[in-house]
Amino acid sequence: VNLWQGVDPSQLITLSILLPLVGAVLIIAAGKYPNLRETVTLTTAVALFSIVLAITDYTYSGVKMELDVVELFPGLGINFFVEPLGVLFALVASFLWIITSIYAIGYMRGHHEENQTRFFCCFAIAISSVMAICFSGNLLTLFIFYEVLTLSTYPLVTHAGTKAAKKGGRVYLGILLSTSIAFLLFAVIGTYSVTGTLDFVDGGIFDESESKAVLGFLLVLFCYGIGKAAIMPFHRWLPAAMVAPTPVSALLHAVAVVKAGVFSILKVVIYIFGVDNLKDIPTTDIMLYIGAATILLSSCIAMTKDNLKARLAYSTVSQLSYIVVGALLASSIATAGAALHIATHAVGKITLFFCAGAIMVAAHKKEISDMVGLGRKMPITFAAFAIGAISIIGLPPMAGTWSKWYLTIGALEADKLIIVAVLMISSLLNIAYLLPIPIKAFFAAPSNGSGATAEGAEPWSWSQTQEAPLPILIALTVTSIGCLALFFYPEPLIELINMIPDVSTEMGSAAVAPAEMGEG
Amino acid sequence: MLEQHLAALPILIPLIAAPIALLLNRSLYSWLFATAASAWASVTAWQLLVLTLSEGVVSYAVGGWAPPWGIELRVDTASAFVLLAVSAISTFVLVYSKDSIEKEFEESKHALFYTAHLLCLAGLTGILLTGDAFNLFVFLEISSLATYTLVSLASDRRCLTAAFRYLVMGTIGATFILIGVGLLYMKTGTLNMLDLAQRIELYDNSRTINTGLAFIMVGVSIKLALFPLHRWLPPAYTHAPSAVTAFLASTATKVAVYVMIRFIFTVFGADYVFHEMNMDLVLMVLATVAIFKCSYMATVQSNIKTALAYSSVAQIGYMMLGVSLVSVTGLMSGLIHVFNHALMKGALFMAVGAVFYRMGSVDLKAFRGLGRHMPLTMAAFTLAGLSIIGVPLTVGFISKWYLVSAALEQNNWILAALVLGGSLFAIVYIGRILEAAYFKDLPEGVDPNSIKEVPWLMLAPMWVLVIANIYFGIDTSLTTDAASSAAQWLFQGVEQTMSEQTVIEQAATVDSSVPTNIVQEASL
């Protein structure tokens, strides 16, 4: 599947970052002609996906791809380096960009949003910075594009321009920018002054002799500095960002932005600290339990929310901490589960957000209590919602099963029974706050007056349906099929994850071998 | 012929041009002439920087009288670096000022404005180039007197009290410097800086020299508005004409920072100032308090010029913090920030001036809805604002990186945390202006059709500075090379006396090679 045979592999990185930017310029140029503008968006998205596929192809065959761009400080600059984890994230983000673009066309037009050109343009810039984050070769590059991503998504969050949007935007920018400047930049410069390098190196860059207190301090700074990972108490920006139009919530706040956060944490754990060295750091367990607490607390908060998008937002906060917990368990198999969760949670959660948007466009409903009985009118949407919900819960035959499986085995391997319990309780909580929505939509009668009950008694037929516009339906069908497909064919992704150093989905890898021998 | 007088040209060009600009006495001619003169001075500044980067020090004996008897102009990388920033900003501000001052005061004063501006420039470049302590005081007075005139030119009558307050404080500062220099002369019998440095070294614990140091430090601190001696600055910047604020904010205090560095490192010697007199602790505490107190003050002002003025005082704190770290990286971060902050504040004050041009006010309310009506101005303001916050790919990020690195180099994690924490205030004081501009509608009673972009002569220099903010945030080779070689050169003396204290560990890794002839000269 390599359409870019003629191009030098390393230049593919440049292409993947520049292409969305070129797309952004063309989108502005075509701003007056909506159809042409949307064609540009779709073409760019498809082309970007094909580039990422080509990069994936080269990664499988072990071709090295790196690129130095500019030196900002003597011996330290912006450079890019392709490694499997980044490829995984890039695949997910670029594939879902295509789907979201299709969806956004239906949504933005169906919802009669203003300033659509600015919307599609900022979207493309955000994707460009996500690509740069995926392929970043050192912490400085990662930090720079992390900030670019924050700033380029701010206009998207405040798209509506209302008072609520301004307030949401203030929280969004305030938390993300201040955590990144006060903690992440501190951690980056601190790491640089301790080690003299910021490169991502297999097994980490810290010396054995480095003071554990300093490492522990840096780990906390990293975990909270990467505010996009939404570890409590710095999670408030994610619910605040829900004032954005639904496609933004779907791609950015279920996939690109939040996953950029947990992706950065995984990168730091794998390539800066080293998975095997984590257990010697005093604060690892503290952050692990804060992550576990985030999982449970935000699931509980999600249950209290009647606004569908708010509930999904808190669900995302909780699911992100799965990845944080997986990264901090210091077990290769849990890290693999965390990496896989980037992909599986992405398809599941984006399906749910697509459904939320579809309901908003077709039925103009935002509150969950108003959605009772709506399944008759919107059967496809709610079927997709059920599939997405089951995937998030982690039940077969949906994609979420695998990542939760590996995370649980990892927790067992690391002898952290509490984490196993947390994962199980969280699954139950997920069931409690997600599944009732489609069930009530399908099986309960609408509660609004007697006329509706009579209508509900009638035999159901397709003519009753009032579904959202076609592009929306296409998008949410594709992602729900994705949830199924990743359950039956997870191998390509798992193969990719196994290529990450120190990370493996196989039981009994290096990390546990000595312990087992001891027991024997 | 001019080649051999290169070192004197940056002073002479504006000094000679100033009275001519007054004689031309027509707004347009004076403007053209002043801008051309300032541009020429910038070119010579650039040539000087290139020369010092390749040859080290350029020494020029005024009138052919050999130092230490005659007045010496002595240009090293540090002075050439700041000189380039000052003269380039002056040129951009002059381009900008044509339309700006037309709106702000009557035409009869225009020629006077250009004259005062050129005199101020001559004074500032003189301070940067001279190698003579008394001569430095003279140039300081030239620039200060010109500055008082510039501030009082605005049509708003509050500028008169602001200028008067500035005059009183400035004169006290200048007098303190004069007393300090006098004390040094009394003890050593020389005014040449290098000569002074060598003789001061011979006196151990002399009370006269200690007193001289105290007077000079306090005097210069007033001039550079170091907390708590900064009270004159916000009113002066607020009520001065926009073009004057843009020029002063990005040059005058920077030159005062340079004077401080010059006195500490070249005249007194860092070892004496920092280790015997413990000035580093004093500076560090004052600088840190300045960062927090004045950044906070910036967030609560409703007049945006005042807010940015307080921000300037806070930023001076960052520069002095870099100096107080007593390391090559620290000094380098201070020098880089002198240059970078000139770029940011120049652009910001120009944008604010553009808002005044259209709205007739610089209150926070006046910014409402401008994102839609003055998109280019507000985009420039946004980018320069991001730079002052320190977002990557802007110069602000480079400054912050070096300052935090310098703090961490000495394992001072708390100071590093304070620096980063202090910079969060910038998000607030820039953020609330941007919110007003992009989320609110125009104030009531303003005709939406009357609010459009400012003339391109105001936009162009503003955008040149904004682009410089981004360019020097990505391609840092010029700024880091110049600043690091300047810092190493200033540190030569310290290195010899403190080599055993291993403060300079990092010196070797900072990318630059110091030509051997400099080392020889320094050890003279």
Strands A66-73 and B72-75: unpaired
From CA B460, how far away is CA B344, in angstroms rounded?
A: 15
Residue B468 has a pLDDT of: 92
Residues of chain A found within 8 Å of residue B340, distances taken between Cβ atoms: none
Instruction: Please tell me what DSSP assigns to residue B85.
Output: H
Nearest CA in chain B to A214: B413
Å between B416 CA and nearest CA of chain A = 7
Residue B513 has a pLDDT of: 42
Contact A178 B427 (CB under 8 A): yes
From CA B407, how far away is CA B421, in angstroms rounded?
A: 14
From CA A201, how far away is CA A179, in angstroms rounded?
A: 25
Residue A301 has a pLDDT of: 92
From CA B1, how far away is CA A477, in angstroms rounded?
A: 80
Residues of chain A found within 8 Å of residue B368, distances taken between Cβ atoms: none
Most A CBs within 10 Å, among B387, B427, B428, B481, to test the A interface: B427
Residues of chain A found within 8 Å of residue B398, distances taken between Cβ atoms: 72-73
Q: What is the 3-state secondary structure (H, E, C) of A153-215?
A: HHHHHCCCCCHHHHHHHHHHHHHHHHHHHHHHHHHHHHHHHHHCCCECCCCCCCCCCCCHHHH
Instruction: Please tell me what DSSP assigns to residue B192.
Output: B
Contact B404 A166 (CB under 8 A): no
Residues of chain B found within 8 Å of residue A147, distances taken between Cβ atoms: 391-392
Å between A19 CA and nearest CA of chain B = 20
Most B CBs within 10 Å, among A181, A183, A192, A220, to test the B interface: A181
Å between B355 CA and nearest CA of chain A = 22
Contact B401 A189 (CB under 8 A): yes
Please list the pLDDT of chain A residue by residue as tens digits (520 residues): 677 777 788 888 888 999 999 999 998 888 788 888 888 889 999 999 999 988 888 888 888 888 888 888 888 888 899 989 999 999 999 999 899 888 888 887 777 777 788 888 888 999 999 999 999 989 999 999 999 999 988 888 888 878 888 888 889 988 999 999 989 999 999 999 888 888 888 888 888 788 888 889 999 999 999 988 888 888 888 888 888 888 888 877 788 889 999 999 999 998 998 888 888 888 888 999 999 999 999 999 999 988 888 999 999 999 999 999 999 988 888 999 999 999 999 999 999 998 998 888 888 888 888 888 888 888 888 889 999 999 999 888 888 888 899 999 999 988 889 999 999 999 999 999 998 888 888 887 665 544 444 444 555 666 667 777 888 888 888 999 988 888 888 888 888 888 888 888 777 554 444 444 433 3
* A206-215: long-range contacts, CB 8 A cutoff, minimum separation 24: A206/A272, A206/A273, A206/A274, A206/A277, A212/A280, A212/A281, A212/A282, A213/A282, A214/A190, A215/A273, A215/A281
Contact B431 A173 (CB under 8 A): yes
Å between B81 CA and nearest CA of chain A = 18
Contact A193 B405 (CB under 8 A): yes
Of the partner residues B390, B393, B439, the one whose CB lies closest to the CB of residue A181: B390
Most A CBs within 10 Å, among B419, B435, B440, B513, to test the A interface: B435
Residue B381 CA, chain-centre distance (Å), reads 20
Instruction: Please tell me what DSSP assigns to residue A136.
Output: B
Helix, strand, or coil here: B300? helix
From CA A414, how far away is CA A408, in angstroms rounded?
A: 10
Give the N- to C-terminal CA distance of chain A in Å, as an integer: 47
Which residues of A lie closer than 8 Å to B, measured between beta carbons? 70-75, 143-144, 147-148, 151, 158, 161, 166, 170, 173-174, 177-178, 181-182, 185-186, 189-190, 192-193, 217
Nearest CA in chain B to A179: B424
In the numeric block, which tokens belong to residue A453?
A: 């009950």
Q: Are residues A409 and A504 in contact, defined by beta-carbon separation less than 8 angstroms?
A: no
Contact A186 B392 (CB under 8 A): no
With a CB cutoff of 8 Å and minimum separation 6, the contacts of A445 are A372, A373, A452, A453, A456, A457
Report CA dihedral (A98, A100, A106, A111) to the nearest 10 degrees. -150
Most B CBs within 10 Å, among A150, A186, A214, to test the B interface: A186
Helix, strand, or coil here: B212? helix
From CA B196, how far away is CA A285, in angstroms rounded?
A: 60
Residues of chain A found within 8 Å of residue B417, distances taken between Cβ atoms: 182, 186
Nearest CA in chain B to A181: B420
Match 């901090």 to its residue by tokens: A328
Å between B415 CA and nearest CA of chain A = 11
Most B CBs within 10 Å, among A148, A159, A189, A198, to test the B interface: A189
Of the partner residues A144, A186, A190, the one whose CB lies closest to the CB of residue B393: A144
Residues of chain B whose pLDDT is less than 70?
1-2, 493-524
Reported ipTM: 0.86
Residues of chain A found within 8 Å of residue B391, distances taken between Cβ atoms: 147, 151
Residues of chain B found within 8 Å of residue A193, distances taken between Cβ atoms: 405, 408-409
From CA A418, how far away is CA A85, in angstroms rounded?
A: 28
Å between A419 CA and nearest CA of chain B = 33
B72-94 in b/e form (b: 16+ CB < 10 A) is bbbbbbbbbbbbbbbbbbbbbbb
From CA B156, how far away is CA B104, in angstroms rounded?
A: 9
Residues of chain B found within 8 Å of residue A185, distances taken between Cβ atoms: 400, 404, 420
Most B CBs within 10 Å, among A192, A193, A194, A218, to test the B interface: A193
Residues of chain B found within 8 Å of residue A161, distances taken between Cβ atoms: 439
* Residue B301, phi-psi category: left (phi > 0), alpha (psi -120 to 50), beta (remainder): beta
Nearest CA in chain B to A159: B439
Strands B72-75 and B58-61: antiparallel
Of the partner residues B391, B393, B408, the one whose CB lies closest to the CB of residue A193: B408
**Which chain B residues in 85-114 lie under 8 Å from chain A, judged by CB atoms?**
none
Match 């956060």 to its residue by tokens: A261
- B23–A contact, CB cutoff 8 A: no
* A509-514: long-range contacts, CB 8 A cutoff, minimum separation 24: A509/A332, A509/A333, A510/A276, A510/A332, A511/A275, A511/A276, A511/A330, A511/A331, A511/A332, A511/A413, A512/A331, A512/A413
Of the partner residues A71, A75, A182, the one whose CB lies closest to the CB of residue B421: A182
Residues of chain B found within 8 Å of residue A71, distances taken between Cβ atoms: 476-477
Angle at B118 between CA B116 and CA B122, to 5 degrees: 115
- Exposed, middle or buried: residue B499 (CB in 10 Å: 0-12, 13-18, 19+)? exposed
Nearest CA in chain B to A142: B392
Residues of chain B found within 8 Å of residue A190, distances taken between Cβ atoms: 408, 413, 416
Contact A185 B420 (CB under 8 A): yes
Residue B76 has a pLDDT of: 83
Q: What is the 3-state secondary structure (H, E, C) of B409-448?
A: HCCCHHHHHHHHHHCHHHHHHHHHHHHHHHHCCCCCCCCH
Q: Residue A193 phi/psi, 5° resolution?
A: -75, -25
Structural Rg of chain B based on CA atoms:
22
- B375–A contact, CB cutoff 8 A: no
**Which chain B residues in 394-453 lie under 8 Å from chain A, judged by CB atoms?**
398, 400-401, 404-405, 408-409, 413, 416-417, 420-421, 423-424, 427, 431, 435, 439
Q: Residue A231 phi/psi, 5° resolution?
A: -80, 135
Residues of chain B found within 8 Å of residue A75, distances taken between Cβ atoms: 511
Å between B421 CA and nearest CA of chain A = 6
Contact A151 B475 (CB under 8 A): no
